[in-house]
Amino acid sequence: MTPLGAALLATTGLVAVPQGAFAQAAAAQQSAAATPAPASAPAGDVIRNVTVQGSQRLEPDTILSYIRLRPGQTYTQALGDQALKDLYATELFADVSIRNNGGDVVVQVKENPVINRIILEGNKRLKEDKILPEIKLAARQIFTRSKVRADVARIIELYKRQGRFAATVEPKMVMLDQNRVDIVFEISEGPKSKVRQINIIGNEKFSDGDLRGQMVTKQARFFRLFSSGTSYDPDRLAFDQQKLRQYYLTEGYADFRVVSAVAELTPDKRDFIITYVVEEGDRYKFGDVKVDSQLRDFDSEKLAANLPIKKDAWYNAKMVEDQVDSLTETAGAFGYAFADVRPDFSRSKEDLTMSVTFRIAEAPRTYVERVDVNGNTLTQDKVIRREFRIAEGDAFNTFQIKRSTNRIKSLGYFQEKFDVEQKPGSAPDRIILEANVEEKPTGELQLSAGFSSLESFIFQGSIRQNNFRGRGQTIGLSVDYSRYTRSVQVSFTEPYLFDKNISFGMDVYRRDLNSFNFTNQNRNTTYKQATTGFSARVGVPLTEYMSLIGRYTFNIDDVTLDRDTFFINGQCSSLLAGRYLCDAIGKRTSSILGASLVYDTLDNRVRPTRGNQLIVGADFAGLGGSVKYARVTANAAKFWPVGGGFIFSVRAEGGAIKPLASRSSDPTVDDVYLTDRFFLGEPQIRGFDIRGVGPRVLRKFFVDSDNNGTLDTVSNDRNQWVDDALGGRYYYLARAELEIPLGSGARELGLRPSIYVDAGAVFGVSNPLVQNVVSNCPATVPAGATCSYTGTDGRLTSSRFNADGSENTLAQAFREEYVGNTPSPRVSVGIGVNWNSPFGPFRLDFARVLKKANGDDPKTFTFNVGTQF
Tens digits of per-residue pLDDT, 805-827?
888 888 888 888 889 999 999 99
In angstroms, rounded to a whole number, what is the distance separating the alpha carbons of residues 846 and 755? 10
Is the predicted pLDDT of residue 21 greater than 50, yes or no? no
Q: What is the pLDDT of residue 525?
A: 52
**Quick one: pLDDT band at residue 760, thresholds 50, 70, 90?**
very high
Higher-confidence position of 795 and 311: 311
- Rounded to the nearest integer, the mean pLDDT of the chain is 83
What per-residue confidence (pLDDT) applies to 382? 92
| Amino acid letter, residue 470 | G
Digit-coded pLDDT (tens) for 684-728: 899 998 888 999 888 888 888 777 777 778 888 887 787 778 899
pLDDT at 230: 81
Whether 729 and 762 have beta carbons less than 8 Å apart is answered as: no
The Cα–Cα gap between 373 and 380 comes to 10
At 25 the pLDDT is 39
What predicted TM-score, i.e. pTM, was given to this entire model? 0.64
Residues 6+ apart with CB under 8 A from 114: 57, 140, 141, 142, 143, 179, 180, 181
Half-sphere exposure of 484 (CA within 13 A, CB side): 16
Banded pLDDT at 368 (limits 50, 70, 90): very high
DSSP assignment string, 679-747? -B-TTTSTTB-TT-BS-EEEEEEEE-SSSSS---EE---GGGSEEEE--BSEEEEEEEEEEPP--HHHH
User: What pLDDT is stored for residue 512 in this prediction?
Assistant: 85
Give the Cβ contact number of residue 866 at 10 Å. 16
Q: How many whole angstroms separate alpha carbon 696 and alpha carbon 725?
A: 4
Write out the H or E segment, with its range, that includes residue 405: helix 398-410
How confident is the model over 426-455, as a mean pLDDT?
76
pLDDT digits (tens, 9 = 90+) for 535-546: 999 999 999 899
pLDDT value of residue 297: 78
595 sits in which H/E element = strand 586-600
Position with higher pLDDT, 734 vs 3: 734
Q: What is the pLDDT of residue 716?
A: 83
Contact 343, 320 (CB under 8 A): yes
